[in-house]
């Protein structure tokens, strides 16, 4: 199950991602927001962050205008490793090296074509499992 969340700056891109997930028969839970009306991104970052950190959802995708505010907020929740990505290399590397469990993007930064490639890579790249990466991840929260 993939947790989705956005603010008004990410609403349109989230709709594109929902279409992608449905086309690929991937289950998701949409935590809002549900329109382009202005809202406060921390609320959605927290809903998705807790869903992922608590195990209700395996991964999450968060989108605000830049991806910055929503990722800063999500990363305050213990167990969340949110990676702000606007390129394919970073999306792959953060899964391989950081075992990132939330992808953050900026709806005003990346176009839908690139964003869907990033989502595809993020969802389909496993953690490398390398000892050095596992050790470094364990040091994030110790």
Binding-site residues sit at 7-8, 65-69, 98, 108, 132, 136
Closest to ligand RB5 by CB, 65 vs 95, is 65
Closest to ligand RB5 by CB, 68 vs 93, is 68
The DSSP letter of residue 24 is T
Q: How far apart are the C-alpha atoms of 38 and 85, rounded to whole Å?
A: 23
Q: Residue 81: is the preceding peptide bond cis (ω within 30°)?
A: no
Q: Identify the helix (H) or strand (E) that includes residue 88.
A: helix 88-98
The DSSP letter of residue 32 is -
Q: Identify the helix (H) or strand (E) that includes residue 29.
A: strand 28-30
Closest to ligand RB5 by CB, 5 vs 101, is 5
Contact string 61-90 vs ligand RB5 (x = CB under 6 A): ---xxx-xx---------------------
Question: Under the criterion CB under 6 A, does residue 30 sit at the interface with ligand RB5?
Answer: no
Question: Under the criterion CB under 6 A, does residue 102 sit at the interface with ligand RB5?
Answer: no
* Whether residue 64 lies in the annotated active site: yes
**Count of residues that interact with ligand RB5, criterion CB under 6 A:** 8
Q: Where are the alpha helices (DSSP H) in 30-85?
A: 41-53, 68-74
SS3 11: helix
**Region 1-20 residues binding ligand RB5, contact defined as CB under 6 A:** 7, 9
| Cβ 99 to ligand RB5 shortest distance, Å | 24
Identify whether the C-beta of residue 10 lies closer than 8 Å to the C-beta of residue 105: yes
Site residues, ligand RB5 (CB under 6 A): 7, 9, 41, 64-66, 68-69
């Amino acid at each position: 199950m993939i947790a989705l969340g956005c603010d008004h700056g990410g609403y349109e891109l989230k709709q594109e991602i929902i279409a992608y997930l449905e086309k690929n028969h991937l289950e998701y839970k949409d935590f809002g927001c549900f329109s382009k009306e202005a809202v406060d991104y921390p609320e959605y970052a927290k809903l998705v962050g807790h869903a992922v950190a608590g195990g209700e959802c395996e991964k999450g995708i968060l989108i605000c205008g830049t991806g910055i505010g929503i990722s800063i907020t999500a990363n305050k929740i213990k167990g969340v490793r949110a990676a702000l990505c606007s390129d394919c290399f970073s999306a792959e590397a953060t899964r391989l090296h950081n075992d990132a469990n939330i992808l953050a993007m900026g709806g005003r930064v990346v176009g839908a074509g690139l964003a869907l490639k990033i989502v595809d890579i993020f969802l389909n790249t496993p953690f490398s499992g390398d000892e050095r990466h596992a050790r470094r991840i364990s040091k994030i929260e110790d």
